[in-house]
Amino acid sequence: MEIFEGKNIEQKDLEFVDFEDNQFIKCTFSKCVVKDKKICGSKFKNCSFYDCQFINCNFNSAMFQGVGVWKGCLFESSDLSKVIIGSIRLEASSFLRNRIKETTFDGTSFKKIVFEGEILSAWFYGIPYSANLYKRDFLFKKQPKDLTTPVIDFTDSLFKDVTFSRGIDLSRVIFPKQENFLIIKDPKRFFESFLSESERIFSDIESLTFCKRLVDSLFFKPDNHMMPLVTVNLGIFYPSLNAERDGKIVEILRKLAV
């Protein structure tokens, strides 16, 4: 593994840079157009990218750690599978028609970001997964950490399995219009209404227990605590082991989400 540290890398320098399975520390990339390159397995720590384009590149399993800024960048037709992007500040950048599968945005900051194309599976965490969701005030009283507020446009995206959690305020996110993807406003009231409606429709203990566990997993789990909006992917009910029950649950969820 080759280590690049403290480098200022521009277009003219790219012929001397091997991206694959290498380590970049405190490097700054400016106005680079990178096409058809393998960047898989590389580690970037405290690196920044300004006005860069990555087209048809393979980032599989690359890691972007520490702090850094990505501003005015384009990622197009690239493989971002299993990529981990840490507490990076993303600004005015676009992700167009990439392969996004098992991709983690772990405490990443988003400002004026556009995603287009299919997102097979991804996790968007407001607070990094390894960090505590709570802090102590000056009286050592436990308090939730401040929510992050990403500004993202997913209008032309297609969600398959996408999770938003861990201290994230989704009020400035534009979601795609998908029948199987619900945005729940006022989650506490919504899920109270859901349980009430479930008790009216179901009479068997098994179905009622299933509904209560569903609410626990979607609303009461710590990762969703204090979030003013939560999302529900109705794809979790397909395929179903109990089609009649799950069909009624989906019908309740759709009706209440209107």
Q: Per residue in 96-118, pLDDT tens?
A: 999 999 999 999 999 999 999 99
pLDDT band at 221 (very low <50, low <70, confident <90, very high): confident
d(CA 257, CA 87): 32
Of 137, 152, 178, the last residue of a domain is 178
CA dist 248 to 201, 205, 218, Å?
8, 15, 18
Residues 60 and 122 in one domain: yes
Cα–Cα–Cα angle for 47, 50, 56, rounded to 5 degrees = 90
Residues 126 and 190 in one domain: no
Q: Per residue in 185-198, pLDDT tens?
A: 889 899 999 999 99
The CATH number that applies at residue 158 is 2.160.20
Residues 196 and 160 in one domain: no
Does residue 137 surpass a pLDDT of 80? no
Of 153, 178, 203, the last residue of a domain is 178
Residues 118 and 227 in one domain: no
Residues 174 and 184 in one domain: no
Q: What percent of the chain is modeled with pLDDT above 70?
A: 99
Does residue 126 surpass a pLDDT of 90? yes
Residues 225 and 235 in one domain: yes
Of 178, 194, 216, the last residue of a domain is 178
Provide the number of structural domains found in the chain.
Answer: 2
Domain residues for the domain of 156 are 1-178
Residues 147 and 81 in one domain: yes
Residues 6+ apart with CB under 8 A from 114: 93, 94, 95, 96, 152, 153
Place of tokens 């960047």: 39
Residues 173 and 215 in one domain: no
Residues 156 and 50 in one domain: yes
Does residue 136 surpass a pLDDT of 80? no
Q: What is the pTM of this model?
A: 0.91
Give the mean pLDDT of 236-248. 91
Residues 6+ apart with CB under 8 A from 235: 160, 161, 180
Residues 127 and 162 in one domain: yes
In DSSP notation, 174-227 reads E----TTEEEEESHHHHHHHHHHHHHHH--SHHHHHHHHHHHIIIIISGGGTT-
